[in-house]
């Protein structure tokens, strides 16, 4: 899969119980945007440059970090998160670094993926009486 630029298949359910080396596994897969949260990484010893040149969405990267931190992982693992950003998984990421001595390189914290944009609902909207929407309207 390395350097398969258009690769974006769901691989989260792969059996990774024997996975030890993920060096460059998804490197260069520019369109890849999947969660790896279901991967069993308890035996993982090297994931350096795993996502080299790749930016998975913040929710997918957060899910991956959260799941991996919850596993009984080995220490001193290098994880290359590529151009991916974390947000809600900040504490999990920090725990992997502090308690398991992981070295994680990625694009840093960015929570804009979770930013809610205000929508202006002011104004009048007419709804025809004989629609499904009107049947549920309590007014």
Write out the residue range of the structural domain in which residue 34 sits.
1-139
Any idea what the Cα angle at residue 109 is, between residues 35 and 19, rounded to 5°?
Answer: 35
Task: To the nearest 10°, report the CA torsion of 99, 103, 106, 112.
Answer: 10
Are 100 and 77 in contact, with CB atoms under 8 Å apart? yes
The pTM assigned to this predicted structure is 0.81
> How many domains does the chain fold into?
1
Are 19 and 45 in contact, with CB atoms under 8 Å apart? no
pLDDT tens series, the chain, 139 aa: 556 787 888 888 889 999 999 999 999 999 999 999 999 999 999 999 999 999 999 999 999 999 999 999 999 999 999 999 999 999 999 999 999 999 999 999 999 999 877 777 676 566 566 655 545 555 5
């Amino acid at each position: 899969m390395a350097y398969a630029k258009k690769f974006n298949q769901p691989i989260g359910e792969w059996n990774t119980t024997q996975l030890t080396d993920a060096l460059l596994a998804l490197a260069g897969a520019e369109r890849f945007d999947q969660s790896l949260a279901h991967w069993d990484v308890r035996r993982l010893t090297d994931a350096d440059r795993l996502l080299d040149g790749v930016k998975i969405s913040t929710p997918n990267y957060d899910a991956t970090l959260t799941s991996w931190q919850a596993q009984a992982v080995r220490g001193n693992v290098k994880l290359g998160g590529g151009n991916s950003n974390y947000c809600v998984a900040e504490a999990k990421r920090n725990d992997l670094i502090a308690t398991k001595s992981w070295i994680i390189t990625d694009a840093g914290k960015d929570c804009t993926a979770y930013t809610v944009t205000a929508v202006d609902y002011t104004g009048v909207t007419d709804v025809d009486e004989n629609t499904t929407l009107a049947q549920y309207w309590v007014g």
